[in-house]
Amino acid sequence: MKKKTAGGAARLPKAHGVIEGAGDVVRQQITDTLETNYMPYAVSVIMSRAIPEIDGFKPSQRKLLYTMYKMGLLGPARTKSSNIVGQTMKLNPHGESAIYDTMVRLSRGYEALLHPFVDSKGNFGKFYSRDMACAASRYTEARLDPICQELFRDIDKNTVDFVDNYDNTMKEPSLFPTTFPTVLVNANTGIAVGMASSICPFNLAEICRTAAECIKNPEHDILSTLPAPDFPGGGMILYDRQELEKIYRTGRGSVRVRSRYSYDQEANCIDVTQIPPTTTIEAIIEKTIDLVKQGKVKEISDIRDETGLAGLKITIDLKRGTDPERLMAKLFRMTPLEDSFSCNFNVLVQGVPRVLGVRALLDAWTKFREDCVRRRTEFDLANLRERLHLLKGLQAILLDIDKAVRIVRESAEESEVVPNLMIGFGIDEKQAEYVAEIKLRHLNREYILKRTAETEQMEKDIVSLEKILESEKEIRKIILAELDEAARKYGRKRCSIIVYQDELKEVPEDDEPDYPVNLFFTREGYFKKITPQSLRMSGEQKLKEGDEVVQQMESVNSAELLFFTNHCSVYKAKASDFSDTKASVLGEYLPAQLGMEEGETPVYMAVTTDYTGYMLFFFEDGKAAKIDLSSYETKTNRKKLVKAYGAKSPLAACEAIAEDCEFLLTSSQGKLLLFHTGAVAPKSARDSQGVSVMTFRRGVRLEAARRYEEGMLRSPDRYRRKIPASGAVPGADEEEEQMTLS
């Protein structure tokens, strides 16, 4: 028997061994649960895991590299990767596998970065192959790449903040004081909660030059020094100035990358040696094999992976007489040999995720770098002032070294030495402490003169540092010099070549043979394409039991077919995609052939060669939508379009028309309405709900819509109305027509 608690929660009777409160049902607002449980997790993923910061690193990457730096691996010595992984766990508690995966992605052997930060030895796998996995950490070795000197330069001079690690036993940097914009030099992708980041890489020399020019001139034309991204795997970037300007301005957009290949005439094969960064060797081969099996690519006799020590290589053997350029043009259209890199420059700036364009990112990095240089200068200035202050005290004892020795010797207690020196030479406690700590062997004029000779240079250095701190211009001069040095030391030629539109060879698509055909579409979703000659020689159409042909039309083999379904989608195909058949076969079952969803069936077939005209949709609520057929035309080879028509009311009928004409509507009440489609304004939005054409009483619906032809009605003027209208009840002389149309 359940009992009720004071709060209304159900509680089971207490039994021996039952924990107090166990089994209680506590009511809680879901918003409170989200705020207390989900929001902290979301913030943690965004700020501490998936999104890179202005220095270009995620926390896991920064922890790994800093551990390697503290291990002394910024030099010639390597150590086992497992050793590095173990040491990194002092900063990163996420486990050995996660840490090693991070190291692999940063390594030279993995080839995912333009400028790797980890100089690896052993098998670290390849980013362009999902089958080439890295060896275990106990078999590989690593050290920091020389470019990491630019990450850690002056890190011990208070250039960045240090924070406690997860158990408060160590300190780690919150950022790296990078001397060049690493955030734009190496690719970085991550998926957080409700947001993601995808930064494409740029050539280091070009980025340094662009950053320098933006510092000198805020209105600098970025495209003049930064023509396009540069991917470590090479490939050809298809130049689109408008899209690049959008990426540089907003931080969002996409870059088209095409594989590079060569044709071996002797062996009659194509060798693909560079592929887009968004795909893998296996994905390309699998897609190509699939196309060959479907009969869409008939020129290939074999395809295989020949990647080895020389690098990536996919070999495609061709059949005799194949034009390699025409084949590659087809493969670029149909496989990942050409793909897009989607950009989303989402970066944490001062702890806030922001999507920034290239100029804004460079400005944010410049401000960060200015702060690093200012803090380094303040650190050096404070040290110089302290050192100078001590040397001034040492200089004071030059007046009488014997007096200093006598004061030390005659002091009764050790604690009196410093006060007595302060009194004897008029120096402060720090200076006296420094003098008192000088070794006996150094109490000679030569040593003291050498030390104090530095004071003049120190005073000059202090003036110089103070001048830097007083002027933003001087700070920017230092940043410009460091950018120039980084570009000279680590800059290299582009890996990806840029191909402009006028350089692209126009390779026409394979011309499908064009000839007259008869197209048949049945109620059950079967399709047949039959040549006129075959149709003349054929007998009766073979159909599934209970099925019937609902559409039959003459067209050509190059026609585009649009199959509208009961799920408000449209599937696009070409007549040439289907084989010629005969009347004696059932034909192609469209849901299977076009890959429709479960329960999805085609309801209408539209045929076009130029996408002129309109699609008319009639809904059961009496509304009609007239959509430009051009709204279904796409530049890319998309096979499915969702929201092909309005979904607010069930579809009663639809039809494609070349020009406006009259339609006859029939309601479930038996009324008829004849109207001209010119009264309905065309829409470009495919999912338009339409305008009211026929009005009903409650419980009545639109039952049928059919294009009107002369002779269908004996008194057509009786049913012509200005829409919207309820229509007219047919007279006795129209009863036969009404029965036919219903």
Q: Where in the sequence numbering do the catalytic residues fall?
A: 139
Phi/psi for 82 (5° steps) reads -65, -35
In order, the DSSP letters of 350-372 are TTEEEE--HHHHHHHHHHHHHHH
Q: How far apart are CA 178 and CA 372, in angstroms?
A: 9
How many helices and strands, by DSSP H and E, does the chain display? 22, 35
Greatest Cα-to-Cα distance within the chain, rounded to the nearest angstrom: 140
Q: How far apart are CA 486 and CA 484, in angstroms?
A: 6
CA distances from 550 to 77, 524, 565, 604, 652 (A): 78, 9, 15, 9, 15
3-state secondary structure 356-424: CCHHHHHHHHHHHHHHHHHHHHHHHHHHHHHHHHHHHHHHHHHHCHHHHHHHHHHCCCHHHHHHHHHHH
Partnered with residue 694 across adjacent β-strands are: 725
Q: How far apart are CA 358 and CA 347, in angstroms?
A: 11
Structural contact between residues 282 and 335, judged by C-beta atoms closer than 8 angstroms: no
Structural contact between residues 438 and 431, judged by C-beta atoms closer than 8 angstroms: no
User: Virtual CA dihedral for 204, 208, 210, 211, nearest 10 degrees?
Assistant: 130
Structural contact between residues 207 and 222, judged by C-beta atoms closer than 8 angstroms: no
Phi/psi for 454 (5° steps) reads -70, -20
For residue 668, give the amino acid letter: S
Which helix (H) or strand (E) segment holds residue 141: the answer is: strand 141-144
Instruction: Check residue 49 and report its DSSP letter.
Output: I
Nearest-Å Rg of the Cα atoms of the chain is 39
Q: Compute the Cα dihedral for 485, 490, 493, 498 and give only its sign.
A: negative
Q: How far apart are CA 662 and CA 705, in angstroms?
A: 10
Instruction: Check residue 50 and report its DSSP letter.
Output: I
In order, the DSSP letters of 156-176 are TTTSS-EEE-TTSSSEEESS-
